[in-house]
Structure 1
Amino acid sequence: MGYVIKLNGESREVTAEAGTPLLWVIRDELKLTGTKFGCGVAACGACTVHVNGEAVRSCQTFIEDVADAEVTTIEGAADRLGKVGKAVQQAWLELDVVQCGYCQSGQIMQATSLLAQTPKPSIAEIEEAMNGNACRCATYQRIRSAVVRASEILEA
């Protein structure tokens, strides 16, 4: 079945069966591999993208559910997420957050969603928002510090 989705600001025509996870459309059909497969049950956050500005797990979001939505992946973050996306990416680089990097696209997409809604989050708000984004390398302290730093960049 054919669908048209708005991905990173561009309308894209895709062919997929109803019930196909958005993750597989993004990776297999559209060849954007920054969004990662981690668990398939929305428990790890590696597949996090934005749908209409909200962080969602693309492994459990179906193609038919995003037909009229704006979808943003990590590939579109710098352009589509404005100053919040740029601040998060700058903070990640400044604090050298990435270790293996596998989870980081999901971490960044979750962090940008938080900061777009709460520009000056408390540590508790950061931990609550980022809970559910797993990092096998356990860079949680660096991730938390980078969210704080991105908040500072936004405030400046």
Structure 2
Amino acid sequence: MGDVEIELTVNGAVRRGRVEPRLTLADYLRGHCQLTGTHLGCEHGVCGSCTVLLDGAAVRACLVFAVQAHGTEVTTVEGIAGPGGELSPVQAAFRDHHGLQCGFCTPGFIVSVTAYLRDHRDPSDDEINEALSGNLCRCTGYQGIRQAVRAAASNQERGSDV
């Protein structure tokens, strides 16, 4: 089978191109769009480093083919910040609460937490732990990450959108 024409919206910009049917969305974003914030860790959907929003749902970009994203809207970690480049409340909370160390897993956490807090305005600690269970971090011990999620949720409760 030959290349397939796709069109999708990535971080608000329409992208068109021809891709091999077996190309993953993660590889498309990194190679064709030069959006390298979508990291590739395990390439099996386990670590969460490649998490992006696909029509608003958090998905593992290593498990989605680029052709499956045809006609959709994709938001990567680069699209989470405000239009002027200001950090989103989740990004600011990760910075303020030391929710990162080496930073490799951070984009996946930022995207996952952004989607989670959009739908869960006041999560309990157990709910936060469950929400974080789909992303792996080998450096932080998760304490700063949990504090960042609590802070972002708290800011959201005070009226600031995630």
Q: How many residues align?
A: 152
- Aligned ranges 1:56-135 → 2 under 5 Å: 56-79=59-82, 86-135=88-137
The alignment partner of 1:124 has SS state of: helix
Letter matched to residue 126 of structure 1: I
* Structure of greater Rg: 2
Q: Deviations over 1:107-131 (max 9, x none)?
A: 1111001100101111111111111
Does the CA contact (< 8 Å) of 1:98 and 1:139 recur in 2? no
Letter matched to residue 22 of structure 2: G
Of the three residues 20, 29, 35, the one matched with 2:32 is: 29
Structure 2 CA distance, aligned partners of 1:19 and 1:121? 38
Alignment gaps of 5+ in structure 2: none
Structure 2 CA distance, aligned partners of 1:114 and 1:53? 10
Equivalent position of 2:147 in the other structure: 145
Worse overlay, 52-61 or 137-146: 137-146
The alignment-based identity, stated in percent, is 39
- Aligned ranges 1:13-28 → 2 under 5 Å: 13-28=16-31
Q: State the TM-score, normalized to the length of structure 2.
A: 0.89
Q: State the TM-score, normalized to the length of structure 1.
A: 0.92
The structure 1 segments of at least 4 consecutive aligned residues displaced by more than 3 Å after TM superposition are none
What RMSD in Å do the two structures reach over aligned CA positions? 1.3
Does the CA contact (< 8 Å) of 2:56 and 2:115 recur in 1? yes
Alignment gaps of 5+ in structure 1: none
The alignment partner of 1:134 has SS state of: coil
Structure 2 CA distance, aligned partners of 1:143 and 1:106? 12
Does the CA contact (< 8 Å) of 1:48 and 1:110 recur in 2? yes
